[in-house]
Every structure is written in structure tokens, then in C-alpha cells.
Amino acid sequence: MADFGGTDLDAFRADTRAWLEANYPKSLNAPMGEDEAPWGGRKMVWKNPDAKLWLDRMAERGWTAPMWPKEYGGGGLSKAQNKVLEQELRRLKARPALMSFGVWMLGPVLLEYATEEQKQRFLPAIVRGETRWCQGYSEPGAGSDLASLQTKCEDKGDHYLINGQKVWTSYADQADWIFCLVRTDTSKKHEGISFVLFDMTSPGVEARPIKLISGSSPFCETFFDNVKVPKEQLVGKLNGGWDIAKRLLQYERQNISASGFGGGGGLSVVEAAKKELGVDSEGRIADGDFRARLAAHSMDAHAFMLTVRRAEAESKQGSGPSAAVSIIKYAAAKMNQERTELLVEALGLQGLGWSGEDFSAEELAAPRAMLRAKGNSIEGGTSEVNLNVVAKRVLGLLDHQ
């Protein structure tokens, strides 16, 4: 990668700023509703056509995947340039052009493990937001112990035949394609797993949304009944899928840590507490006990944010992954659960509404966010598994015999 000196970067910044200002649609300055998240794909309904325009403009420059190579549709930017782009997007308070498991999780492993043909076939469609991907990992009998998965994949000569069931498949009902872990050898555990890609419209695929306690259905049960998959859709080696699966989980956790479970959204706990609990003559939250707990939480959240930043700085320095990274997913789940609980508590009755005119939309979102956040310490590896990983990999403590 070229070393972009100050002047080159300054020029890049000026060009980027000018282009963004000319091309970011003004109608997107309004807050983004939950139903407007730009996931792309064949089933996407664009509520605001400008959001689609924004995606197309960004995709044309490869800036939906800014650091991927240009030959696969990416932006070909250096780390330094990408940072400038991110800064300029933040400066504009721009909505994301594309939210995509393809960009965040699948793309990076395809770049690492896929054949040239596979890269050409799948990556540009991810960049353009044409294909929405879902992740077929967990099964009813394989949660924390993911490698015990049983979805069967048989070699039928000119194709593979897949039978089995996945669960907790995020947005499987909305996705076009799935990247899926399957068992290709029953005599071994980790070494009998393969990584395959297939179309969700293939005969025999069925996705049923699961309704959660929060009322939303972001996950599905996904069933495979004699699904035929062309052999060129195997990624990496047969029975070599576990390495790819783990690599992809690293990208997933990195992404979770970067977004911190999106903890910033919704009402401010401080404002809600001041309004519903009142303030004293010095402007402090009148309920001293609540104020103390909120202060403790705010400080933990601040400490967490500083840790994410430190982990990024240390890994950019290139001395291998920072030890701080290992604790981020665990801490992020805890932070988001605490924050959403405090908001519900501060709102009192106004934080307990399920529907109706007596509550604002933001108030109604608060208990649902609290309920949804309970999954943060389960999905993508439970907090208990996170702690096992820290104990074993970072602290060097051994397994119980």
C-alpha cells in the first residue's frame, strides 16, 4: 500500500468532501426510521428513493466497501484514506449507504479463502447491495458448542445435497443468499465442517421468523429439505470450513465492538431521569440513588468506549490483536443491558408502555430495547463462552479434566 503523505491525504480529503457534499441527498438529513435501514437485496423496499440513489452513488465508487480491491468493486482505499472517508461521512452526519452482513462478515473471508471465480461472482454484488446475505451458523443442538452442528451435506457427484435445520438465522426471511456451515464428515468434529453458499430461493429452503420477547422478529428458524447446491459454491477446502467460520466470527465480533450494539440510540437516560425524577436546586437528578447508579454506569460506558478506541489504536499499530479486544464483546453486552434497563427505570410508567397513544414512539421503544438487549449476552457467543475464551486464550488457564 502506498504511503500517503500529508499533501496527498489533504487532497483526498478535499475531493472527498466536495464529492460527498454534491452527492449526499438532502432528504436523508431526516432521522432514519428503523424500517429504513438500508440492507439492500432483492426484497428491499426503499421508503425514500433517495436512499437507493445514495447507495448507487456510493457503490459506484466502491465506497460501500472502501478498502476492498477495485477489481471486485471495492474502493481500493488505504487505511489512511478510509479513515478520512469515515471522518468526512461523520462530519456530514450521513446515513450509512448500505448495511450488510456481506460487507461486514462474508466479504472479508471470501477475499481470504475464495477462488478467483467466486470473488468475481459474489463480491461486486455485495458492494452494490444487490445480494443480501444471512448467516447459517447456530442449530437447535449447536449453540455455544457450535462445532457440534449436524446439518448434513452429502456429495451427490455433480452437486451437494443439504438436509437439516438452522436457528437464530438473522433476517433469513429477508435474505437472498446464505453462508452456511454444514457437516461433510460425521467421523470428526471440527474437521468435518464445510462452508457453503446458496440461494435462499433454492427448492427446499424455508425460513420461519421467531417472535422475540421484544415483539420483533429479527431471527428465523431455517429448514433445509433436500436442497441441491452446485459444487462450485463450496468455499475453501472440503472439511476445512471451521477455520473460515472462526475467521468470520472475528469479523462479526469486531463489528459488534465497533457498533457497541448500537447503544447510542433512543432517549438520553439523563434527560429522561431529569424529566421523570426531577432535579434539585443544583440541577442534579433528585433521586440520589438513581443518580449514583447512572453515574457509575456512565463511567463504565465511558471506560468501555475508551477501551474500544485503545484496542483500535493498538491493532492499527500492528503488534497483533490487542488483549483488550477479547473483552470487548462481553463488556459491550453488559453496557447495553445496563443502559436500556436504566432508561426503563428512569421513565417509570412511561417506560412500561407496549402500545397506544399514552406513550411517545421513543418511550415505546425503551422497554423493547431493554428486552431485545437481553440477547446481547447470548448471540454471537454467550458471555459465559466469552469469559471461557478470555480465561483460556488470554490468561492461559487450562480446561477442567
Partner 1 sequence: MAVLTEEQTMLRDTAKGWASESAPVGALRKLRDSKSKQTFDPAAWAEMGQMGWAGVIVPEAYDGSAFGYLGLGLILEETGRTLAASPLLSTAMIAASALQLGGSDAQKQAWLPKIATGEAVATLAIDEGAHHAPARTALSATQSGAGYVLNGTKTLVLDGEAADLLIVAARTSGQPGDTAGLTLFLVAGDAAGVTRSHLSLIDSRGAAKIVFDGVEVGADAVLGEVDKGWAILEPTLDRAYAGLAAEMLGSASAAFDITLDYLKTRTQFGQVIGTFQALQHRAAKWFTDLETTRSCVEAALEALDAGADSRALASLAKAKASELVHLASNEMVQMHGGIGMTDAHDAGLYMKRARVTEALFGGASFHRDRYARLMGF
**Of 349 and 394, which has the nearer Cβ to partner 1?**
394
Least distance from partner 1 to the Cβ atom of residue 227, Å: 39
Least distance from partner 1 to the Cβ atom of residue 388, Å: 7
> Residues with catalytic annotation?
252
The Cα–Cα gap between 106 and 293 comes to: 40
**Alpha helices in 61-213, H assignment, sequence order:** 79-91, 101, 107-113, 116-127
Do residues 184 and 231 make contact, with C-beta atoms less than 8 angstroms apart? no
Q: What is the dihedral of CA 67, 68, 74, 76, to 10 degrees?
A: 60
Give me the DSSP letters along 176-198: SEEEEEEES-TT-SGGGEEEEEE
* Residues 6 or more apart in contact with residue 247 via CB below 8 angstroms: 108, 109, 112, 113
Least distance from partner 1 to the Cβ atom of residue 264, Å: 15
From 76, 57, 73, select the one nearest 126 (Cα to Cα). 73
Residues of this chain that interact with partner 1 (CB under 8 A) are 270, 273-274, 283-285, 291-292, 294-296, 298-300, 302-304, 306-307, 309-310, 313-314, 317, 323-324, 327, 330-331, 384, 386-388, 390-392, 394-401
Least distance from partner 1 to the Cβ atom of residue 301, Å: 10
Least distance from partner 1 to the Cβ atom of residue 243, Å: 25
**Of 65 and 331, which has the nearer Cβ to partner 1?**
331
Q: What share of the chain is helix, strand, coil (3-state, %, to 5)?
A: 50, 15, 35
**Of 323 and 349, which has the nearer Cβ to partner 1?**
323
Angle among Cα 105, 58, 380 to the nearest 5 degrees reads: 20
**Of 175 and 285, which has the nearer Cβ to partner 1?**
285
**Of 202 and 322, which has the nearer Cβ to partner 1?**
322
